Structure 1
Amino acid sequence: MAEPLQRLPGHERLKGLTEGVRIFGVRHLSPNGAHHLTAFLNEAQPTAVLVEGPSDASALIVQMASKGVVPPIALLAYTEDLPVRTLLYPLAEYSPEYQAFLWATRHGASCEFMDLPSGSALALHELKSVEDAGESEEERVSFLNDQNGLYERIAEIADEPDYEAYWERYFEHNGNPNAYRTAIVELSNQMRELTERDEIVYRPQEAAYNEIREAYMRKRIKDTIAAGHAPSRIVVVTGAFHVSALIGERQAMTDEEFAVLPTSSTRLTLMPYTYYKLSSRSGYGAGNRTPAYFQLFWECLQNGRLQELPKIYMSKLAASMRDKGTYRSTASVIEGVRMAEALAAMKKGKQPTWKDLHDAAVVCLGGGEVSVIADALARIDIGTSIGRLPEGVSQTPIQDDLNRELRRLKMEKYKSPVAQSLELDLRENRRVQSEEAAYLDLHRSVLLHRLELLDVGFARKLPVRQDAATWAEHWAMQWTPETEIRAVESTLKGETIEIAAAYVIHERLQSCEDIVKAAKLIRDACLCRLLDAMSEAQRMLQSLAVDTGNFEQIASAAFELSVLIRFSSIRRHETKSLLPLLRQLFLRGALSLNEAANCNHDAASSVVSAIQMMHAVAQEHYNEVNESLWIRELRQLASRDDRNPKLSGFSFAILLDRDEYSAEQIESEVSRRLSPGIPADLGAGWFEGLSMRNRYALLSRATLWEQLDGYIGSLEDEQFRRSLVYLRRAFAVFEPREKANVSDMLGELWGAGAEDASMMLQRPLTEEEKEKLDELNDFDFGDL
């Protein structure tokens, strides 16, 4: 990682040239840092403000500071090539960097980012990741433990429970501007001394990456001076860790050194963000645990009411609990504030930290139980706020298209980090006048299916409440920053949601190798209303169907087309062109049924599913497909002894549903299949298939149970034990009421009485019976 810097000579010294440049160290989410920085800028009146961030994004600063922008927001850099790699720079209203943008815009000062361009940062990140991957798990764990241990040691020395509490008490509550800046510089010096002295705490690849960044930032300072800005009129805003690296006699990167840095082609965009993603709880390393609390902190600072923060915080908690039906008295709120102030006094703090307020709230509002106030804490500490960007602010075309579609379809309210439910009725609404309004839910469905196809993650389809409600859709809606990132990544596939979705269909068709996937892509294209993609997928299916002989695949593809044709009127699609293809697939499936039934018991389950799908197609489209051929093939399978008995029994059950057999034929077939001497895997296997359909019809045929009882009684011990595996599977799917009916019938058959038989069969198992059952579970069923 450090090679580009190590091999290039001739670094320039900054001393003298940069003397007088104002360096202001910050934490990226620090309300007091933003407050002191604003006061410092008012005092220094710089002509140039340099802020840590990707230097190729400087043109976006004016837009981030424009009217109508509501933080939190984020600057996103992403590569132009797949796989997409991203870097994210989130900002809250109380981020010192964001306040620097606002100040520079108001005062007409030059404001630019000064860190590595996003292309170089992403390329170096990738190299660093490769080196990180070479570490052993033990080395990674050691690094993380040592790194966390460093912050824990700082908190321990300060007699604080953790580093967050330490930072808030000694930096956020530090009202002296000069003392704040001095403390930041001292913290930077000590942190660097600890990390640079111990490579276990700070890995070499991490050190090299930061060295390159800091050398480039020193170069940007030098370039700003060369552009005519006096050093004393330049303010540099950077993370506290980098402060000591940007002052003194350290070396600046040269143009030649910058030219040899690896780089990637990138694009930049802005996006709304959420407080949850700003929090360290989401995994954001530069975040804090309580972004909404620090927003409240910032507002109190701005209004000169910081001393009232404990009262406001505790009152908001109580109000949030009251909204959810849990009431707390004013006295409890007052006691909570007093306890927090007492806890702060024990640490010699000027006022309570969030940790003090949290502990006091648990005691005084939660009665000692965190769970009582957990929901209120989440709302007040983290919050559900989401940023907003006005029209005209730089975004990718696909972001603009998504926002336009959400407005057009009246779905902007669903762009929220709080999960919401959306139920759609795809039928025409005849109570409105315009066609757009009449099919509003249908248009919404098309957009949501397109986003689902793009894996944007904004909406997730749920099962509808009524199986028969083919016109209904139920979606779970939730916006997250990842939603916008994935939308941005889709820009590489097209400039609009529609074009990108069509590209995904086309891309998947290029790698499609079986008719099931092709049929599903036809259905996806239909749901997304992508007519050209639908035609392309149809041609692909026709091409693949020529060489396909797999019964399960043919049945699945035919079923997909059947569903599509069935719902075409609701989706307002013309699907007549699919009928010839459906007929072709159905014909091939029917003719391959008996061949597919020549399989073992493991494969039989998938064939059963395929038979069910083929039969559903035959029932739904009896005028379009050759139903008589299908019934003929089922009859043949039902009568054959050289095919899987489960499948023969299942086919027989389908034909029973259709009244294809007379009573004499049924009795003859049952007698033949369940007569003494038939091996267990054939007899019991056939009954398993038979019992998979219309069990009420089976329960009404006493002769069937008599035949089964006689057959089971005729089996030798080993064959009997073999039959149990089939019988257990068969009866496992029976409902309790059906099992009770079986026990009643068997009781009458055995002469034991229905009630006595039912009690005997439903009593708890004895230890001996449990042992026999365990033996059965371990029984070697040979080639079953």
Structure 2
Amino acid sequence: MTAADGAGPLLLGVRHHGPGSARAVLAALEAREPKVLLVEGPPEADAVVELAAHEEMRPPVALLAHVVDEPGRAAFWPLAEFSPEWVAVRWALARGVPVRFFDLPAAHSLLLETGDGDGGDGDGGDGDDGGERSGTGGVRLDPLRVLAETAGHDDPERWWEDVVEHRGGLSADPCAPFAVLADAMAALREAHGGAPGDAGHRRDAVREAHMRLRLREARREFGDEGVAVVCGAWHVPALTAKSAVTADRRLLKGLPKAKTGITWVPWTHERLARHSGYGAGITSPGWYGHLFSSPDRPVERWMTRVARLLREEDVAVSSAHVIEAVRLADTLAALRGRPLPGLGETLDAVRAVMCEGSDVPLALVHDRLVVGDVLGEVPEETPAVPLRRDLTRVQKSLRLKPEASERDLELDLRGETDAARSRLLHRLRLLGVDWGEPARGRTGGTGTFRETWRLCWRPELSVRIAEAGAWGTTVASAATARAESLARDAGTLAEVTELAERCLLAGLGDALPVVMRALADRAALDADVGHLAQALPALVRSVRYGDVRGTDAAALREVAEGLAERVCVGLPPACAGLDADGSAEMRGHVDAAHRAIVLLEHGDLLTRWRAVLRTLAGRDRVPGLVRGRCARLLLDDGQLGDDEAARLMGLALSPGTDPGDAAAWVEGFLAGGGMLLVHDERLLGLVDAWLAGIPGESFTDVLPLLRRTFAAYEPGVRRTVGELVRRGPAGPGGQDAGEWESVPGFGAGLDRERADAVLPTLRLLLGTDRAGTAASGTAGTGAASDKTAASGAADGMTGRAGTARKAVTAR
């Protein structure tokens, strides 16, 4: 059986995803006109191969086969417009020639054990199983690469182009190159075929046995000359080898078998690229697509595309640049002994002429053109699991089209469409389908009615959808079932509270009763204050912002308030006797609990929490880090007067206090922003005096803590504090008077007229109706100065009190 003598089946050994191979295959098929076409791939695909001719089918696409009862066991067979198999299938379907896939069935191959190098395609796809296995990978011998390197080429596809596309009339028979290639593969198999005992060799032997059996069936039905085969070049010698039918059947006997499903799914150029992890990938699918679609003047057309891209990115590129780049590419090809410029020559020319030697714009060319961001399409008639059909329907109704390139999506949850989009993306994340990832918005705002998502559709998400199909037939029902399962299996209280928040974000009201039962059960059994504090923020966010999405969070509020009460009771004893690591962890718990309790806006609970903070701030047995943090939280909330803050700092930094504990107190008090030192001269004077009085032998011990504290400040704040310290106290009383010389840009005192101008805008931002209402939370604190009036307006808002205080007192 040869490809050239016309006496046997037409065996076309190819390199997958190669435009040169694709053109050569098309020419050979046109010359021979076979009656049946056998293609490397799972025979289950015979049922869906007709869809390849559908007018809505847009490559790149892939055949996806998966085990019905275990969708995670799956494999892809990707095809691009320049793939020889795709070109051959389209040619056959257009002429009514039957197409049959003759590789080992997916029902067997998905269950076979895979070893190193046997989880996917070979590097070039010529000695592989044609499919990318989900979750596995491996690199085996690339036969065409070996041949190319033997001939002195570093690019196997370029070598194939040189010997096939540019052979210059050495042979008028389009089938002749395949016969020569078959001989070369036979020599390579003899030298690199692998040991009979290794997993890759055994897998190839089983696959090739099945190929031979299917080939024999086709020869009996259509005759030797009526059969054409398109497969990896590595397999051609095995198809011509003499092997008994009984021996082949013996190899296939006893193989594991599973019920499988198969369909077409969209693929991407990026996923075809080797850097994405696909063993049979190619480094430049965009370039290969260009070569296949532009048989005439490919270099000129390519340079024009590059110029257009760079112009769109505001890079100055003229027609003269294009002309010079083409000339340079041709010159480089001549110097390197190549018949036409390849990708290496064109990129070198683009870098030198259009990018002025810079790799920055060249990286853009690589990502957009050399690799490309093309996403294929499949027709609606394509078989799919019910969940995928529902997802497609919802995507269309919400006008959310999957795209291969990353893009940011800004959502305003006050709108019905954007709210529905948010629910869809949150539901998919619950199902493990990470089509969208939450991202920081362009505005950087923290409004609860806005969300920013980074969307990018990856082909492997099709497998995740198939796996998620076990939870339900629609996105909503599947996400509900998944959330209920996670609630039952959750190991910690924090996991359940986070799940409750995710259910609210996803609009899964039906799942909340199960989640709430699990939450109540775990909250009743968990006595660890740290666990309670960790669980509280997510729960309170759900209570606080649930109404933005129109959900009922009354039950969550009950649980949240109960957890907060338990934190208030258990926190003081939990803070005693902590080491340095325990202190740092407890400080994080205090911050989390404070933010959560303030957001709850429960008057009695907030009063009790502040009493706990006061207790901790004045208790000597509490580590300095926690005491300092509690004092700062009270100060920012307007619950601690400046005199009292100065007294606590003076006690913490007194000469009798251990320098290490004092440094920890300073770290806890000053963490989160240094504007406090800029605007409160007395506190700055206390810190400065304490630093100046630390003995030399102790200073080196506290220095790391101090550096960590002040390094977190913004450069402008550090510079201002340093300038204040450098100038020192002013006035006849010096430092004892607590008066420091002002820094340019900061007034010596409070400008009441300017502060009053800020208050109306501040009330609008905080949603208060009048100054009296805003300041009511600070009643009874003894804070009489206007410097704390604005912080009173922010009472009850997480972190906003300190911001308001700074806004009014600044300058």
Q: 2:646 & 2:314 partners in 1: Cα distance? A: 66
- What's the counterpart of residue 169 of structure 1? 162
1:206 aligns with 2:200: yes
Q: Which of 387, 411, 415 is matched with 2:400 structurally?
A: 411
Please state whether the residue corresponding to 1:567 is helix, strand or coil: helix
Q: 2:316 & 2:646 partners in 1: Cα distance? A: 72
Q: Which of 391, 398, 421 is matched with 1:402 structurally?
A: 391
1:613 aligns with 2:592: yes
- What's the counterpart of residue 259 of structure 1? 253
Q: TM-score scaled by structure 1?
A: 0.81
Is 563-572 or 740-749 further displaced after alignment?
Answer: 740-749
Is 656-665 or 117-126 further displaced after alignment?
Answer: 656-665
- What's the counterpart of residue 763 of structure 1? none
- What's the counterpart of residue 7 of structure 1? none
Task: Give the letter aligned to residue 154 of structure 1.
Answer: L
Per-residue Cα deviation, 1:282-327 (whole angstroms, up to 9, x for no partner): 4434343333333333334xxxxx3433333333333333333445
Residue 208 of structure 1 and its aligned partner are, at CA, apart by 2.3
Per-residue Cα deviation, 1:640-686 (whole angstroms, up to 9, x for no partner): 22222332233233334455567776666555444443333444443
- What's the counterpart of residue 519 of structure 1? 497
1:478 aligns with 2:464: no
Taking structure 1 as reference, are residues 739 and 524 closer, same or farther at Cα in structure 2, changes over 3 Å only?
farther
Residue 603 of structure 1 and its aligned partner are, at CA, apart by 1.5
Taking structure 1 as reference, are residues 690 and 110 closer, same or farther at Cα in structure 2, changes over 3 Å only?
closer
Matches within 5 A, 1:153-164: 154-164=147-157
Q: 1:682 & 1:311 partners in 2: Cα distance? A: 72
Structure 2: runs of 5 or more not aligned: 121-137, 745-811
Q: Which of 34, 38, 63 is matched with 1:46 structurally?
A: 34
Q: 1:331 & 1:720 partners in 2: Cα distance? A: 67
Residue 215 of structure 1 and its aligned partner are, at CA, apart by 1.0
Residue 574 of structure 1 and its aligned partner are, at CA, apart by 0.8
Tell whether the 8 Å contact from 1:583 to 1:625 is kept in structure 2 after alignment: no
Per-residue Cα deviation, 1:254-296 (whole angstroms, up to 9, x for no partner): 5454231234443322111122322345443434333333333
Per-residue Cα deviation, 1:575-611 (whole angstroms, up to 9, x for no partner): 1111211121111010011012112222222222222
Q: 1:299 & 1:502 partners in 2: Cα distance? A: 47
- What's the counterpart of residue 84 of structure 1? 72
Q: 2:317 & 2:674 partners in 1: Cα distance? A: 58
1:545 aligns with 2:523: yes
Taking structure 1 as reference, are residues 443 and 745 closer, same or farther at Cα in structure 2, changes over 3 Å only?
farther
Taking structure 1 as reference, are residues 668 and 103 closer, same or farther at Cα in structure 2, changes over 3 Å only?
closer
- What's the counterpart of residue 238 of structure 1? 231
1:382 aligns with 2:376: no
Please state whether the residue corresponding to 1:642 is helix, strand or coil: coil
- What's the counterpart of residue 409 of structure 2? 422
1:322 aligns with 2:301: no
Tell whether the 8 Å contact from 2:411 to 2:422 is kept in structure 1 after alignment: yes
1:56 aligns with 2:47: no
Taking structure 1 as reference, are residues 663 and 424 closer, same or farther at Cα in structure 2, changes over 3 Å only?
closer
Please state whether the residue corresponding to 1:417 is helix, strand or coil: coil
Residue 185 of structure 1 and its aligned partner are, at CA, apart by 2.7
Please state whether the residue corresponding to 1:470 is helix, strand or coil: coil
1:290 aligns with 2:284: yes
Taking structure 1 as reference, are residues 455 and 174 closer, same or farther at Cα in structure 2, changes over 3 Å only?
farther
Taking structure 1 as reference, are residues 625 and 565 closer, same or farther at Cα in structure 2, changes over 3 Å only?
farther
Task: Give the letter aligned to residue 621 of structure 1.
Answer: L
Tell whether the 8 Å contact from 1:583 to 1:624 is kept in structure 2 after alignment: no
Residue 109 of structure 1 and its aligned partner are, at CA, apart by 2.6
Structure 1: runs of 5 or more not aligned: 1-12, 133-143, 301-305, 429-438, 759-784
- What's the counterpart of residue 749 of structure 1? 735
- What's the counterpart of residue 781 of structure 2? none
Tell whether the 8 Å contact from 1:424 to 1:441 is kept in structure 2 after alignment: yes
Per-residue Cα deviation, 1:685-721 (whole angstroms, up to 9, x for no partner): 4344333478666666666566666666776554555
Q: 2:702 & 2:328 partners in 1: Cα distance? A: 72
Task: Give the letter aligned to residue 419 of structure 1.
Answer: E
Per-residue Cα deviation, 1:329-363 (whole angstroms, up to 9, x for no partner): 54554454455556656777665444454455555
Is 735-744 or 607-616 further displaced after alignment?
Answer: 735-744
Matches within 5 A, 1:598-637: 598=576, 599-623=578-602, 626-637=605-616
Please state whether the residue corresponding to 1:546 is helix, strand or coil: helix
Tell whether the 8 Å contact from 1:667 to 1:704 is kept in structure 2 after alignment: yes
- What's the counterpart of residue 690 of structure 1? 669
Task: Give the letter aligned to residue 395 of structure 1.
Answer: A
Q: 1:722 & 1:604 partners in 2: Cα distance? A: 18
Taking structure 1 as reference, are residues 168 and 719 closer, same or farther at Cα in structure 2, changes over 3 Å only?
same
Q: 2:425 & 2:408 partners in 1: Cα distance? A: 13
Q: TM-score scaled by structure 2?
A: 0.78
Task: Give the letter aligned to residue 429 of structure 2.
Answer: E
Residue 441 of structure 1 and its aligned partner are, at CA, apart by 0.7
Q: Which of 124, 147, 154 is matched with 2:112 structurally?
A: 124
Tell whether the 8 Å contact from 2:405 to 2:456 is kept in structure 1 after alignment: yes
Taking structure 1 as reference, are residues 164 and 321 closer, same or farther at Cα in structure 2, changes over 3 Å only?
same
Tell whether the 8 Å contact from 2:117 to 2:139 is kept in structure 1 after alignment: no
Is 722-731 or 555-564 further displaced after alignment?
Answer: 722-731
Number of residue pairs aligned between Structure 1 and Structure 2: 713
Q: 2:117 & 2:139 partners in 1: Cα distance? A: 19
Q: 1:694 & 1:337 partners in 2: Cα distance? A: 57
1:37 aligns with 2:25: yes
Is 533-542 or 694-703 further displaced after alignment?
Answer: 694-703
- What's the counterpart of residue 212 of structure 2? 218
Tell whether the 8 Å contact from 1:51 to 1:97 is kept in structure 2 after alignment: yes
Per-residue Cα deviation, 1:35-78 (whole angstroms, up to 9, x for no partner): 44344434444332211101122111111222211111111122
Residue 455 of structure 1 and its aligned partner are, at CA, apart by 3.5
Tell whether the 8 Å contact from 1:48 to 1:110 is kept in structure 2 after alignment: yes
Q: 2:250 & 2:685 partners in 1: Cα distance? A: 94
Tell whether the 8 Å contact from 1:635 to 1:651 is kept in structure 2 after alignment: yes
Tell whether the 8 Å contact from 2:71 to 2:467 is kept in structure 1 after alignment: no
Please state whether the residue corresponding to 1:452 is helix, strand or coil: helix
Tell whether the 8 Å contact from 2:685 to 2:738 is kept in structure 1 after alignment: no
- What's the counterpart of residue 428 of structure 2? 451
Q: 1:360 & 1:106 partners in 2: Cα distance? A: 40
Tell whether the 8 Å contact from 1:169 to 1:353 is kept in structure 2 after alignment: no
- What's the counterpart of residue 782 of structure 1? none
Per-residue Cα deviation, 1:234-257 (whole angstroms, up to 9, x for no partner): 222212221121124234465454
Taking structure 1 as reference, are residues 445 and 234 closer, same or farther at Cα in structure 2, changes over 3 Å only?
same
Please state whether the residue corresponding to 1:595 is helix, strand or coil: helix
Q: 1:724 & 1:294 partners in 2: Cα distance? A: 60
Please state whether the residue corresponding to 2:283 is helix, strand or coil: coil
Taking structure 1 as reference, are residues 404 and 689 closer, same or farther at Cα in structure 2, changes over 3 Å only?
same
Q: 1:479 & 1:96 partners in 2: Cα distance? A: 26
- Computed over aligned residues only, the root mean square deviation of the Cα atoms, in angstroms, reads 3.8
Residue 84 of structure 1 and its aligned partner are, at CA, apart by 1.7
Residue 529 of structure 1 and its aligned partner are, at CA, apart by 1.2
Q: 2:297 & 2:689 partners in 1: Cα distance? A: 87
Tell whether the 8 Å contact from 2:729 to 2:741 is kept in structure 1 after alignment: no
Q: 1:749 & 1:91 partners in 2: Cα distance? A: 78
Taking structure 1 as reference, are residues 703 and 393 closer, same or farther at Cα in structure 2, changes over 3 Å only?
closer
Tell whether the 8 Å contact from 2:263 to 2:382 is kept in structure 1 after alignment: no
The share of aligned pairs that are identical, in percent, is: 27
Taking structure 1 as reference, are residues 97 and 178 closer, same or farther at Cα in structure 2, changes over 3 Å only?
farther
Q: 2:76 & 2:119 partners in 1: Cα distance? A: 22
Q: Which of 9, 12, 25 is matched with 2:13 structurally?
A: 25
Taking structure 1 as reference, are residues 533 and 475 closer, same or farther at Cα in structure 2, changes over 3 Å only?
same
Matches within 5 A, 1:424-573: 424-428=411-415, 439-464=416-441, 465-573=443-551
Residue 463 of structure 1 and its aligned partner are, at CA, apart by 2.0
Taking structure 1 as reference, are residues 198 and 408 closer, same or farther at Cα in structure 2, changes over 3 Å only?
closer
- What's the counterpart of residue 140 of structure 1? none
Taking structure 1 as reference, are residues 275 and 697 closer, same or farther at Cα in structure 2, changes over 3 Å only?
closer
Is 584-593 or 178-187 further displaced after alignment?
Answer: 178-187
Task: Give the letter aligned to residue 457 of structure 1.
Answer: D
Is 717-726 or 596-605 further displaced after alignment?
Answer: 717-726
Is 66-75 or 105-114 further displaced after alignment?
Answer: 105-114
Q: 1:577 & 1:146 partners in 2: Cα distance? A: 58
